[in-house]
Structure 1
Amino acid sequence: MRQTSVPSAGHSFAFHKMVGAGNDFVVVDARTRPFTPDADLVRWIADRRNGVGCDQLLAIDPAPDGEAAFAYRIWNADGGEVAQCGNGARCLALLWATELAPVQAQTQAQAQAFRMSSAAGPVEARVAGGAAAVSMGVPEFRPHLIPLHATSEATRYTIGLGDRSVRLGAVSMGNPHAVIVLEELGETALASAPVTTLGPAIERHPAFPERANVGFVQLLARDRVALRVWERGVGETLACGTGACAAVAVLADQGAVNELVNVDLPGGRLVVEWQGRGTPAWLSGPAGKVFEGKISL
Structure 2
Amino acid sequence: MKTLVVTLLLTTAALPVMAEDWTEDYRILRIGVTSSENEADRMARWEPWRAYLAETFGVEVEIYTAGSYDGIVQALAAGQIEFASLGSSAYAAAWTETEGGVRPILASQEEDGSTGYYSIIAVRCDAGYDSLDDLEGKVLAFADPDSTSGYAVPSYNLVQQGYDPSTFFSATTFSGSHEAGVQGVVNRQFDAAATNINNEVNGVPQRMVSKGMIEEGEICWIWESPEITNGPVTVRTNLPEDLIEDIKQAYLRAPEDAPEAFRAISGGDVATAKGFVEVDHDRYQWIVDMREWLKSRRRS
Report the TM-score range of the alignment, normalised by the length of the smaller protein.
under 0.3
Considering Cα pairs closer than 8 Å and 6+ residues apart, tell me whether 1 or 2 has the greater RCO.
2
For the pair shown, the structure with the greater C-alpha radius of gyration is: 2
TM-score, normalised via structure 1 length: 0.25
Q: TM-score, normalised by structure 2?
A: 0.25
Which of the pair is proportionally richer in helix?
2
Richer in strand (by share): 1
